[in-house]
Amino acid sequence: MIKPKLLISKCFSQPVRYNGGIVNDEFIRKLKQYIDFIDLCPELEIGLGVPRQRLIILDGQFTKRLIQPETGKDFTDKIDEFSRKTLSHLPDLDGFILKAKSPSCGVGSTKLYRNNAVMGKTYGLFAEAIKKAFPHLPLEDEGRLRDEGIRNHFLTRIFAYAEARNILVDNEAHTLVRFHTRYKYLLMTYSQKHLKELGKLVANSSIPIDEKFKIYRLKFYEAFQKKPTLKRHVNTLTHLMGHFSRKLNLKERQHLISLINKFGEGKIPLKSIIELLKSISYRFDNDYILIQKYIEPYPEDLDV
């Protein structure tokens, strides 16, 4: 398994919060076993100590400002400079997990103040800089990752992106063919448009292999931007069933179709059907289905 490379807020592993605390998050603790990561705290990096007086984001006339209300100090320029320098020297990453509600790291969850009153929610300034610099990479905070749909989408992306990053090292045509074959049904679920485009790209022998890899990787990232609907999953499951539907008896086919329909209505989880498809694939020695990343896009232990 290729480990995704992530940037994570340091407060998930060290006591660097404004109050000297540490954030104990069960999902992130478990995830760390399956990833490589670097961690940092923007507020610590711009010279603020631990503990420190709180920061807020103030809605200015033309831009948001990072202010320390008790002292009146403005740290906007410092965090902007830190963000520019840090993000321009990062290694090749697959995603980001930051601290929810933080004035530096919140992902759409940070309070936005105007005239000492909360007027809404916004991005922390460091998180906003990441969003602008890496629009193709998944960016979440631990609060958003408590949502099952958001968490599954995030995990699918970081593990897929890690594999896509790794195939560039090989730079062999057969490697790309194998990769695309394994991701066929996951790509079908996320974007049939991109599945077709990537298939044509893989088959095009007139493009130099190094250029083909780079184009493939960019289009692959594009394919996973939007979380797929239940309808798209139903379409994929129906295609998978087609690989051995003639080998099933009538009652088995009817049962599988019934389960897929129940999933489409939101009555049963996807995992129930995946496990059944795996069992049928083992029964008929269908390795083509078993190698599909759609069956297990990320380690099963991360399902919480």
How far apart CA 58 and CA 71 sit, in angstroms, is 14
Q: Tell me: do 29 and 56 sit in the same domain.
A: yes
Expressed as residue numbers, the domain containing 10 is: 5-146
For residue 96, the SS3 value is strand
Quote the mean pLDDT of the chain: 95
Contact 51, 20 (CB under 8 A): yes
Residue with tokens 């209300």: 69
Domain limit, last residue, from 146, 162, 189: 146
Q: Where are the beta strands (DSSP E) in the chain?
A: 5-9, 36-40, 56-59, 64-68, 73-74, 95-98, 110-114, 117-122, 139-141
The neighbour count for residue 84, using CB atoms within 10 Å, is 12
| Average pLDDT of the segment spanning 14-40 | 95
C-alpha angle 84-90-91 in degrees, rounded to nearest 5: 165
Radius of gyration of the chain (CA): 22
Tens digit of each residue's pLDDT (9 = 90 or more) over 93-107: 999 999 999 999 999
- Residue 100 Ramachandran class (φ > 0 left, ψ -120 to 50 alpha, else beta): beta
Domain limit, last residue, from 146, 171, 198: 146
Q: Is the model's pLDDT at 170 over the cut of 90?
A: no
Tens digit of each residue's pLDDT (9 = 90 or more) over 128-167: 999 999 999 999 999 999 999 999 999 999 999 999 998 8
Q: Tell me: do 87 and 155 sit in the same domain.
A: no
Q: Is the model's pLDDT at 169 over the cut of 80?
A: no
pLDDT at 173: 85
For residues 71 and 304, the model is more confident at 71
Domain limit, last residue, from 128, 146, 164: 146
pLDDT at 85: 97
Q: Is the model's pLDDT at 38 over the cut of 80?
A: yes
Q: Tell me: do 174 and 141 sit in the same domain.
A: no
Q: Tell me: do 115 and 182 sit in the same domain.
A: no
Contact 22, 11 (CB under 8 A): yes
For residue 256, the SS3 value is helix
Q: Tell me: do 152 and 140 sit in the same domain.
A: no
pLDDT at 116: 83
Q: Tell me: do 128 and 31 sit in the same domain.
A: yes
Q: Tell me: do 125 and 233 sit in the same domain.
A: no
Q: Tell me: do 156 and 142 sit in the same domain.
A: no
Of the listed ranges 59-73, 79-93, 117-131, 160-174, the least confidently predicted one is 160-174
Q: Tell me: do 178 and 99 sit in the same domain.
A: no
Q: Is the model's pLDDT at 60 over the cut of 90?
A: no
Residue with tokens 């295609």: 239
pLDDT at 62: 81
Predicted confidence band of residue 80 (pLDDT cuts 50, 70, 90): very high
Tens digit of each residue's pLDDT (9 = 90 or more) over 183-210: 999 999 999 999 999 999 999 999 999 8
How far apart CA 178 and CA 240 sit, in angstroms, is 18
pLDDT at 151: 97
270-283 and 250-264 are packed helices; what angle lies between their axes, rounded to 10 degrees?
150
Report which residue type is found at 278: K
Q: Tell me: do 141 and 170 sit in the same domain.
A: no
Q: Tell me: do 80 and 214 sit in the same domain.
A: no
**Number of domains, the chain:** 2
How far apart CA 43 and CA 139 sit, in angstroms, is 19
**pTM of the predicted structure, to 2 decimals:** 0.95
Tens digit of each residue's pLDDT (9 = 90 or more) over 219-274: 999 999 999 999 999 999 999 999 998 999 999 999 999 999 999 999 999 999 99
Q: Is the model's pLDDT at 88 over the cut of 80?
A: yes
Q: Is the model's pLDDT at 112 over the cut of 90?
A: yes
How far apart CA 140 and CA 155 sit, in angstroms, is 11
Q: Tell me: do 154 and 172 sit in the same domain.
A: yes
Predicted confidence band of residue 61 (pLDDT cuts 50, 70, 90): confident
Q: Identify the CA nearest to 102 among candidates 118, 87, 89, 121.
A: 121
How far apart CA 128 and CA 139 sit, in angstroms, is 10
Backbone angles phi, psi at 26, to 5 degrees: -65, -40
Q: Is the model's pLDDT at 56 over the cut of 90?
A: yes
